Structures are given as C-alpha cells and as structure tokens.
C-alpha cells in the first residue's frame, strides 16, 4: 500500500463509521475485508476497543 493508504479496524457495530470515514476522507469506495479468526485475537476496533471483525481500507 502507498503512503496515503488508511486502514481502520472495526467491530460489527462501528463498521458503518469506518466506511464513512474512508469515503469522506478519500472520496473513494472502501475495501472491506473480514478479519480471519486467527487475526482477531490481538486486533481491536479503533472506535471502542472490542474485537475487530472488519478491516476497512481506502485501497
């Protein structure tokens, strides 16, 4: 990914905020990736610190 790429880890509850953030800041359709079970162990939602379920990126 390039220098201006952004990754947001999000739980189910906050995925809409993460998507809106990418759309607002980069004016592009976000890339939504479901996080595999192995990666969930140490990955927290950036909005509430619960376990992240999605990775939302701008590319």
> What local confidence, expressed as pLDDT, does residue 1 receive?
43
Give the number of other CB atoms < 10 A from CB of residue 7.
15
pLDDT per residue over 18-38, tens digit each?
A: 999 999 999 999 999 999 877
DSSP state for residue 2 in the 8-state scheme: -
| pLDDT band (50, 70, 90) for residue 4 | confident
Q: Which pair of structure tokens corresponds to residue 26?
A: 């980069």
Phi, psi of 20 (to 5 degrees): -60, -40
| pLDDT band (50, 70, 90) for residue 2 | very low
């Amino acid at each position: 990914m390039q220098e201006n790429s952004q990754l947001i880890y999000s739980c189910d509850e906050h995925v809409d905020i993460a998507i809106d953030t990418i759309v607002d800041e980069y004016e592009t359709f976000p890339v939504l990736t479901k996080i595999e079970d192995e990666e969930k162990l140490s990955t927290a939602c950036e909005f509430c610190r619960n376990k992240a379920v999605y990775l939302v990126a701008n590319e």
